[in-house]
Amino acid sequence: MTENPSTDLLRILAIGDIVGRAGRRCLELLLPPLREKHRPDIVIINGENAAGGFGLTEKICRQLFQDYGADVITTGNHWQDKKEIYQFKKDYENLLLPSNMYNVQDSSSGYCQISVKGQNFVIISLTGRVFMKGENRCPFQAFDEIYEHFQSDRPYFIVDFHAEATSEKQAFAHYVTGRASLVFGTHTHCPTADERVLDQFTGYQTDLGMTGAYDSVIGMTYESALPAFLPPSPQKKKIRFEPAKKDLWLCGLLADIDTRSGAAVCVQRIRNELRPDA
Ligand SMILES: [Fe+2]
Ligand SMILES: [Fe+2]
């Protein structure tokens, strides 16, 4: 997939959870050459951990849209870790909250429409229920509702399915096969090697992996994360996770969508590493 897409194909670049400053540095240094090489028509970035590993500030949201050229920012269970998002969300309609999450009041804040080369796309942010906190609405039904809502426009659908369980992600992907052009998972911060096209229509990868420091425990330093897995200490000190800084990778997925049918024809996993001296 090193050639420019033809006029019959639209190329999507989806980038996994940006974790803290390390993740933003990956974008700064690795995204421009990636764009140059692959020339994506739509760039989707998951930003739920972009601010110190927890949530999203307006400054960083603007940076992702304006400086790094995100067309859509998706989120996940950490969407409200920085409370200022309640103020600035209304100014960024392509900043998506998980549509079916228990603490998202307006389900329409979980999807947006964009038009590229005359083709309408609906991008959807959903979250799973298995091993996830809170009473989230059923993501399968949530997809059906959004799909029906847009049926008269005949757009193509792309879903960021933010979930812990591999099984739930795979079940969801099969559920929407033939209806969604692309489904990718986020949240675990570990890339899976199962990218493929389901039933010659739906591009899929169970998890994109994170964009950030991989010398870590899902983006946090080993030293700060370890107490979360040990018996509580008598001192009962609050665990303070520290974003890690070493071994920077940008992880994501490229997908080519046939403009005439909406079918994904090719998907390619991306894992670009930053040289330690960069
Ligand atoms: Fe995440
Ligand atoms: Fe998450």
Check pLDDT > 60 for residue 3: no
Q: Beta strand pairing status for 180-186 and 156-162?
A: parallel
Return the pLDDT at 233: 79
- Cα 249 to ligand 2 centre (Å): 18
Return the pLDDT at 260: 95
Domain locations along the chain? 9-273
- Cα 20 to ligand 1 centre (Å): 10
Return the pLDDT at 277: 75
**Ligand that comes closest to the CA of residue 219:** 1
Q: What percent of the chain has pLDDT over 90?
A: 92
Q: Residue range 186-195: average pLDDT?
A: 98
Residues with CB under 5 Å of ion ligand 1 are: 17, 48-49
* CA pair distance 249, 215, nearest whole angstrom: 10
Q: Of 78, 162, 187, 189, which one is the catalytic site residue?
A: 78
**Ligand that comes closest to the CA of residue 77:** 2
Q: Residue range 184-211: average pLDDT?
A: 98
What are the pLDDT digits (tens) for 87-108?
999 999 999 999 999 999 999 9
- Cα 42 to ligand 1 centre (Å): 21
- Cα 187 to ligand 2 centre (Å): 4
- Cα 44 to ligand 1 centre (Å): 14
Q: How does residue 215 score in pLDDT terms, banded at 50, 70 and 90?
A: very high
Check pLDDT > 60 for residue 2: no
Check pLDDT > 80 for residue 236: no
Mean pLDDT of the chain: 95
Q: Mind spelling out the 3-state secondary structure of the chain? A: CCCCCCCCEEEEEEECCECHHHHHHHHHHHHHHHHHHHCCCEEEEECCCCCCCCCCCHHHHHHHHHHCCCCEEECCCCCCCCCCHHHHHHHCCCECCCCCCCCCCCHHHHEEEEEECCEEEEEEEEECCCCCCCCCCCHHHHHHHHHHHCHHHCCEEEEEEECCCHHHHHHHHHHHECCEEEEEEECCCCCCCCCEEECCCEEEECCCCCEEECCCECCECHHHHHHHHCCCCCCCCCCCCCECCCCEEEEEEEEEEECCCCCEEEEEEEEEECCCCC
CA distance from start to end of the chain: 26
- Cα 18 to ligand 1 centre (Å): 7
Q: State which amino acid sits at residue 39.
A: R
Residues with CB under 5 Å of ion ligand 2 are: 76-77, 187
Check pLDDT > 60 for residue 148: yes
Alpha carbon distances (Å) from 217 to 83, 188, 233, 239: 25, 11, 20, 14
- Cα 263 to ligand 2 centre (Å): 28
Return the pLDDT at 68: 96
Return the pLDDT at 7: 73
Q: Which two tokens stand for residue 153?
A: 């426009």
What are the pLDDT digits (tens) for 56-65?
999 999 999 9
Known active-site residue 78: yes
Return the pLDDT at 187: 98
**Ligand that comes closest to the CA of residue 220:** 1
Return the pLDDT at 1: 64
Q: Report whether CATH 3.60.21.10 matches the domain 9-273.
A: yes
